[in-house]
């Protein structure tokens, strides 16, 4: 009589690596779009008047205050219910990108606001246009100032990507979940998964330290 | 030549300039002295079109600074300006600080812009600092960098807004020496300054501002050594 459970074996490597890969991919996509949109939204917030700011701030607050898991489920079921079901990867990427955008926009806004008005006047007095001042002065100085906070958000996005498993995306946590139900070896598997998350995040953290040291003026 | 005619400037209800008339000829040095809040810095900001004006006219080489059709980014290339706070760009080296505007504004090639920047930096005595980041330098050095950065645009006029006021006393000398150098080069300058002795030494004209008007104007001998107005005498007795 064969056992209901089969122990963990080397044959599971491919399955686990798919999970690792999917976690990396959705994190890269979410951090990438989150950063891009975050810079734009952060800039708009730094530059616009009170009314626009209150409105934008309200929308961002929704993204920031509602738990990610609820956002994921609501979005993917709603979009399915209205007849446009999306791949778990696509739905997850959209929600995770917007979620990280909401946090990053605040980071970048404070970066843009940290560049003193007199610095911009000095640039304009050299004949630079408004947009040249943005691209050559305000953007690089502001981004440097908030790089450590940005890195913190990026690292948490990698870990938050685990939640995308609830809508059926086969990322690292979900792979491990399936392996656990098959093997009944949660301890080994969860430790292994933890190590994988560390391996994914640590290079980013190291890179951050390297960049910070390079930028320490 | 800079001609200023009956310039009025308000911030909300507060009238900061109440009808200023001034002319600065090519090659001349004008120093503006006066108490804080007298409008002297504001006038510089208006000449450079950083601030608009409510009434009157400022003409720089036949260009009406505040006319609607004036392309102010272009105009500012004629007018170098240095501020009380030196505002070095902290993410760029000294050389890049000075080469940036020539390259992106004047569209010089990378080599040309670096060439101009090196010349001007050497001129102000920063020839050994090209690759240093400005935050590693003293205030006096950063202020000289700000001067070189403005000069690299080859402006026809230089506007100085209390450029030694934020400096430690021992660093003021090196910055004033740089201004003396510019004077020898024949640069046309307007200096808003609290360095009365310096103003007396280098200026062709001195204007004493008080509450938004020019109280007294003339040669340094007239205004600083033999002031006629009581307000001028009072101000000078406080600062000298």
Q: What is the pLDDT of residue A8?
A: 78
Residue-wise pLDDT tens for chain B (240 aa)? Answer: 999 999 999 999 999 999 999 999 999 999 999 998 899 999 999 999 999 999 999 999 989 999 989 999 999 999 999 999 999 999 999 999 999 999 999 999 999 999 999 999 999 999 999 999 999 999 999 999 999 999 999 999 999 999 999 899 899 999 999 999 999 999 999 999 999 999 999 999 999 999 999 999 999 999 999 999 999 999 999 887
Label residue A158 by pLDDT band (50, 70, 90). Answer: very high
Contact state of A121 with B83 under an 8 Å Cβ cutoff? yes
User: How far apart are the CA of B234 and the nearest CA of chain A, in angstroms?
Assistant: 32
Q: What is the pLDDT of residue A211?
A: 86
Is B165 touching A (CB cutoff 8 A)?
Answer: no
Contact state of B146 with A132 under an 8 Å Cβ cutoff? no
Q: What is the pLDDT of residue B133?
A: 94
Of all residues in chain A, what percent carry a pLDDT higher than 70? 97
| Closest Cα in chain B to A138 | B89
Q: What is the pLDDT of residues A103-126, one digit of tens each?
A: 999 999 999 999 999 999 999 999
Is A206 touching B (CB cutoff 8 A)?
Answer: no
Report yes or no on A35 lying in a domain: yes
Report yes or no on A81 lying in a domain: yes
Residues of B in contact with A129 (CB under 8 A): 73
Residues of A in contact with B105 (CB under 8 A): 126-128, 132
What 3-state class would DSSP assign to A115?
coil
Judge whether B52 and B66 are in contact, CB under 8 Å.
yes
Q: For residue A2, is pLDDT > 70?
A: no
Lowest mean per-residue pLDDT among A4-8, A91-95, B3-7, B209-213 = A4-8
Report yes or no on A3 lying in a domain: no
Q: What is the pLDDT of residue B216?
A: 94
User: How far apart are the CA of B224 and the nearest CA of chain A, in angstroms?
Assistant: 31
Cα torsion angle, B149, B151, B157, B163, sign: positive
| Closest Cα in chain A to B154 | A126
Q: How many beta-carbon pairs below 8 A join chains A and B?
A: 64
Is B136 touching A (CB cutoff 8 A)?
Answer: yes
> Which of A127, A136, A217 has its CB closest to that of B76?
A127
Give the best residue of B77, B96, B99, B104 to mutate against chain A (max A CB count within 10 A).
B104
Q: For residue A14, is pLDDT > 90?
A: no
Q: What is the pLDDT of residue A139?
A: 93
Report yes or no on A24 lying in a domain: yes
Residues of A in contact with B60 (CB under 8 A): none
Tell me the residue range of the domain where A193 lies: 11-216
Residues of A in contact with B74 (CB under 8 A): 127
Convert chain B into a string of H (helix), E (strand) and C (coil).
CEEEEEEEEEECCEEEEEEEEEEECCCCEEEEEECCCCCHHHHHHHHCCCCCCCEEEEEECCEECCCCCCCHHHHCCCEEEECCCCCCCCCCCHHHHHHHHHHHCCCCCHHHHHHHHHHHHHHCCCCCCCCCCHHHCCHHHHHHHHHHHHHCCCCCEEEEECCCCCCCHHHHHHHHHHHHHHHHHCCEEEEECCCHHHHHHHCCEEEEEECCEEEEEECHHHHHHCCCCHHHHHHHHHHC
Is B220 touching A (CB cutoff 8 A)?
Answer: no
Contact state of B91 with A141 under an 8 Å Cβ cutoff? yes
Residues of B in contact with A137 (CB under 8 A): 89
Is B90 touching A (CB cutoff 8 A)?
Answer: yes
Residues of B in contact with A127 (CB under 8 A): 73-74, 76-77, 101, 105-106, 153
Count of domains observed in chain A: 1
What 3-state class would DSSP assign to A179?
helix
CATH number of the domain within which A98 lies: 1.10.3720.10
Report yes or no on A2 lying in a domain: no
Q: What is the pLDDT of residue A6?
A: 80
Q: What is the pLDDT of residue A216?
A: 67
Whether complex ipTM tops 0.85: yes
C-alpha distances out from residue B128 to A94, B88, B101, B204, Å = 52, 17, 21, 33
Tell me the whole-structure pTM to 2 decimals: 0.84
| Closest Cα in chain A to B101 | A126
> Which of A126, A132, A217 has its CB closest to that of B90?
A217
Enumerate residues 93 to 112 of chain A having a beta carbon within 8 A of any beta carbon in chain B: none
Report yes or no on A4 lying in a domain: no
Report yes or no on A135 lying in a domain: yes
Q: What is the pLDDT of residues A28-58, one digit of tens each?
A: 999 999 999 999 999 999 998 889 999 999 9
């Amino acid at each position: 009589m064969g056992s209901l459970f089969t122990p963990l074996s080397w044959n599971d490597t491919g399955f686990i690596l798919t999970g690792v890969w999917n976690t990396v991919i959705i994190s890269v996509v979410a951090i990438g779009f989150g950063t891009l949109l975050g810079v734009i939204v952060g800039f708009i917030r730094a530059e616009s008047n009170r009314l626009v700011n209150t409105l934008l701030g309200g929308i961002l607050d929704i993204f920031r205050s509602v738990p990610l898991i609820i956002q994921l489920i609501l979005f993917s079921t709603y979009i399915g219910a209205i007849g446009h079901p999306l791949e778990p990867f696509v739905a997850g990427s959209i929600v995770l990108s917007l979620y990280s955008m909401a946090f990053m926009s605040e980071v970048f806004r404070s970066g843009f606001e940290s560049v003193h008005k007199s610095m911009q006047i000095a640039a304009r007095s050299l004949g630079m246009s408004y947009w040249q001042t943005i691209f050559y002065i305000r953007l690089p100085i502001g981004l440097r100032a908030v790089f450590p906070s940005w890195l913190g958000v990026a690292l948490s996005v990698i870990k938050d990507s685990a939640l995308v498993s609830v809508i059926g995306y086969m990322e690292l946590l979900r792979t491990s979940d399936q392996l656990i139900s098959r093997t009944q070896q949660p301890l080994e598997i969860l430790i292994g998964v933890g190590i994988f998350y560390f391996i994914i995040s640590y290079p980013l953290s190291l890179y951050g330290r390297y960049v910070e040291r390079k930028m320490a003026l | 030549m800079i001609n200023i005619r009956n310039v009025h400037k308000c911030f909300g209800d507060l009238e900061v300039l109440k009808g200023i008339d001034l002319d600065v000829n090519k090659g001349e040095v004008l120093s503006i002295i006066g108490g804080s809040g007298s409008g002297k810095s504001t006038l510089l900001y208006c000449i450079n079109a950083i601030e608009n004006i409510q009434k009157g006219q400022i003409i720089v080489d036949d260009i009406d600074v505040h006319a609607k059709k004036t392309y102010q980014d272009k105009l500012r290339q004629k007018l170098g300006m240095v501020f009380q706070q030196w505002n070095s760009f902290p993410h760029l080296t000294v050389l890049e600080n000075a080469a940036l505007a020539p390259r992106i504004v004047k569209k010089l090639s990378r080599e040309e812009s670096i060439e101009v920047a090196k010349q001007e930096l050497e001129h102000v005595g920063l020839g050994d600092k090209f690759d240093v980041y400005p935050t590693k330098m003293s205030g006096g050095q950063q202020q000289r960098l700000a001067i070189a950065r403005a000069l690299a645009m080859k402006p026809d006029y230089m506007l100085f807004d209390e450029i030694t006021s934020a400096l430690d006393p021992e660093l003021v000398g090196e910055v004033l020496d740089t201004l003396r150098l510019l004077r020898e080069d024949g640069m046309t300058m307007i200096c808003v300054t609290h360095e009365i002795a310096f103003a007396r030494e280098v200026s062709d004209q001195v204007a004493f501002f008080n509450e938004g008007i020019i109280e007294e104007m003339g040669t340094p001998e007239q205004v600083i050594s033999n002031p006629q107005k009581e307000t001028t005498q009072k101000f000078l007795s406080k600062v000298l």
